[in-house]
Amino acid sequence: MQEFAFELALAARLERSREAVLSRQLGTSVRGRRIMDLLVVEPGPTFADRAAVTPERIPAPAIESDVGTGRACYWKDAFDIHPDRAESVVERAVELGFFERERRGGRTYVRQTARYPDDWFGRLVGIENKPDLSRPGDLQTQLRKDVSLGLLDAVVLATASYVTGAHLNRIPEEIGVWRFDPESGEREVIREPEPLTPDDPGVDIVERGTARTDVEVITAAEKARYRRRVAERAYGKGWRTYEMPACAEAEAGERFGTDGLPFCAWKGRLVDPASECGEACAGFDPADPPEVDLPAERARRQPWEADPEGRQRRQSGLDRFLD
């Protein structure tokens, strides 16, 4: 099975077995480059408060600004970024219902509609997918980056391969290992992950070459800020980030315990619409894509609110603040 299909099958399996937000293909490096295949965001004590704000990602500068829920402040005084960027952040935050604004003497003032709940998420668990361990690529370097930085609470390697002692010896001992059969949905825990160090400073591997490795020390405060950013991205993005193929061979019926996966009847398997579908495919038959409501499917299976009531109430009265 291709890695894309393996990833979707595992995401669907995890979604059925745990109450958490799942997302795909997220950056989990502060200074360097690291893309985690799957991220599991476990709910924290105030998860419901976060879900009530907006179903989309709140821009980090809006959260990190001096805008609060009390007295409205002049928008230019609330940000430590370029004014053009700050203006676009304000527009987006108002659009999401996170900010409300008013005009006083020709100036724009903003406040939060609700206090941002810092403890809305709990553990962040990363999953690196390598269906075939005979083609590991840069797996060791990727996993060592995860351990040295310690941004996430735990990291797991998921594979369809038989896992040998030699494989385990090449993988950092802190990394958990799962053997997953996407067809049956069975998941065997070969090794439990050890807790990483999200509350301590970490070392981010910025660039690694044959003769030199560039690293940067990341403070605990920077890690905490970036963890929140990663959690926000995961909440807004989810894992159903593909578009269904505009092809008569495309089907969206239930596969791997969920609806809306991009299945191709001509190929007889899941496909990656972005790279495998279209006129270059010999089986391509132009047609409207299958009808499926991916946000509704996500809301049905995850603790994620597609249309929170609190957001509707706030947005309905925003027009009184606009010129």
> Is residue 193 a part of any domain in this protein?
yes
Calculate mean pLDDT across residues 285-309: 93
Residues in the chain: 323
Together in a domain, 262 and 217: no
Together in a domain, 173 and 223: yes
What pairing do the DSSP bridges indicate for beta strands 121-129 and 154-159? parallel
Together in a domain, 164 and 231: yes
Q: Would you say residue 17 has pLDDT above 50?
A: yes
Together in a domain, 168 and 230: yes
Per-residue pLDDT reduced to its tens digit, 48-60:
999 999 999 999 9
Together in a domain, 134 and 18: yes
In the numeric block, the tokens 């009808």 are attached to 291
Listing DSSP states for 156-172 in one string gives: EEEESSPPPHHHHHHS-
Structural domain range at position 18: 3-47+118-237
Calculate mean pLDDT across residues 193-198: 97
Higher pLDDT, 99 or 206: 99
Per-residue pLDDT reduced to its tens digit, 115-165:
999 999 999 999 999 999 988 778 998 999 999 999 999 999 999 999 999
Q: Would you say residue 7 has pLDDT above 50?
A: yes
Together in a domain, 19 and 160: yes
Per-residue pLDDT band for 321 (boundaries 50, 70, 90) equals: very low
Together in a domain, 228 and 248: no
Per-residue pLDDT band for 208 (boundaries 50, 70, 90) equals: confident
Together in a domain, 197 and 248: no
Strands (DSSP E) found in the chain: 21-27, 35-43, 73-74, 99-104, 107-112, 121-129, 154-159, 176-181, 186-191, 202-208, 213-218, 250-251, 263-264, 269-270
The tokens for 23 are 């997302």
> Is residue 108 a part of any domain in this protein?
no
Calculate mean pLDDT across residues 259-277: 93
Together in a domain, 248 and 178: no
> Is residue 97 a part of any domain in this protein?
no
Please choose, from the candidates 147, 157, 143, 152, the residue with its C-alpha nearest in 3D space to the C-alpha of residue 123.
152
Number of domains in the chain: 2
Strands (DSSP E) found in 86-129: 99-104, 107-112, 121-129
> Is residue 80 a part of any domain in this protein?
no
Asked if 63 and 116 count as a contact pair (C-beta separation under 8 A), the reply is yes
Predicted local distance difference test score (pLDDT) of residue 1:
61
> Is residue 65 a part of any domain in this protein?
no
Per-residue pLDDT band for 209 (boundaries 50, 70, 90) equals: low
Together in a domain, 179 and 194: yes
